[in-house]
């Protein structure tokens, strides 16, 4: 099997490069493709998915990961689902359980940095002056609903603790290498992992079906 990840920016690429082997295991092949922001990804996605449709084998999967930002989540997810459907591809959300799918659409709520706030030990491993009790403070209890945007909140937090303010990619690399998928409190991260688990299960069902046909 092979998984192609379509991402809106390079900080997501840096994050997943460290995280995916922890989620998928070391023997699942994948490729990360980062776009130049959400508009670039959404504009190019229809043609890219139609291109995949022309040659995709059954054990090839596509994961689209995009920040929700300030958009209405259901509307953004519906937009991604519609693009895949018009390209002739089946998404996980559109098929019945146990049915084969080719595309997994997932939203980071509201931004990818929420996943970092969902794993405070990883944040502290990268930036030790951050409080170990951060997750118990009112503004940080729900990583997917931090007031004022998660990227801005992370910048303020680092500045408060007198850390330099590097770019998103540097922070993503420093934090994600310490992240443990099993302890992340972000609901959108948990849904993302559940989707990847569903891909592994679907691929395994395909192997079983193939073996039965050969026998």
Under 8 Å between Cβ of 200 and 2: no
Listed residue (109, 116, 184) closest to 149, CA to CA: 109
User: Range with the lowest mean pLDDT among 12-16, 52-56, 75-79, 209-213?
Assistant: 209-213
Strands of the chain (E only): list them.
2-7, 29-34, 60-67, 103-108
| Region at 189 (left for phi over 0; alpha for psi -120 to 50; beta for the rest) | alpha
Sorting pLDDT into bands at 50, 70 and 90, what band is 26? confident
Rounded average pLDDT over 177-201: 97
Q: How is 4-19 classified by DSSP, letter by letter?
A: EEEESSHHHHHHHHHH
Rounded average pLDDT over 118-137: 96
- The pLDDT assigned to 212 comes to 43
Report whether pLDDT(213) > 60. no
Report whether pLDDT(125) > 50. yes
Radius of gyration of the chain (CA): 18
- The pLDDT assigned to 187 comes to 96
- The sheet that has 29-34: what strands, in order across it? 29-34, 2-7, 60-67, 103-108
- The pLDDT assigned to 110 comes to 86
- The pLDDT assigned to 210 comes to 55
Q: What is the pTM of this model?
A: 0.93
Sorting pLDDT into bands at 50, 70 and 90, what band is 40? very high
**Using CA atoms, how far apart are residues 75 and 57, in angstroms rounded to an integer?**
30
> Tokens at residue 72, please?
């209405």
């Amino acid at each position: 099997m092979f998984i192609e990840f379509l991402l809106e920016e390079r900080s997501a690429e840096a994050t997943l490069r460290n995280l995916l082997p922890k989620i998928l295991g070391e023997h699942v092949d994948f490729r990360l493709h980062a776009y130049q922001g959400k508009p670039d990804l959404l504009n190019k996605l229809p043609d890219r998915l139609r291109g995949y449709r022309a040659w995709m084998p059954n054990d090839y999967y596509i994961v689209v990961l995009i920040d929700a930002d300030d958009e209405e989540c259901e509307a953004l997810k519906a937009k991604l689902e519609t693009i895949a459907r018009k390209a002739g591809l089946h998404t996980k959300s559109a098929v019945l359980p146990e049915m084969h799918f080719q595309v997994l659409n997932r939203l980071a709520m509201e931004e990818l940095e929420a996943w970092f706030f969902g794993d405070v030990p990883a944040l502290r491993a990268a930036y030790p002056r951050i409080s170990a009790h951060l997750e118990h403070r009112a503004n940080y209890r729900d990583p997917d609903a931090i007031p004022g945007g998660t990227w801005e909140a992370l910048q303020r937090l680092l500045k408060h603790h007198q850390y330099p303010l590097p770019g998103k990619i540097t922070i993503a690399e420093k934090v994600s290498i310490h992240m443990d998928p099993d302890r992340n409190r972000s609901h959108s991260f948990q849904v993302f992992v559940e989707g990847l688990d569903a891909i592994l299960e679907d691929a395994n069902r395909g192997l079983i079906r193939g073996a039965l046909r050969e026998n």
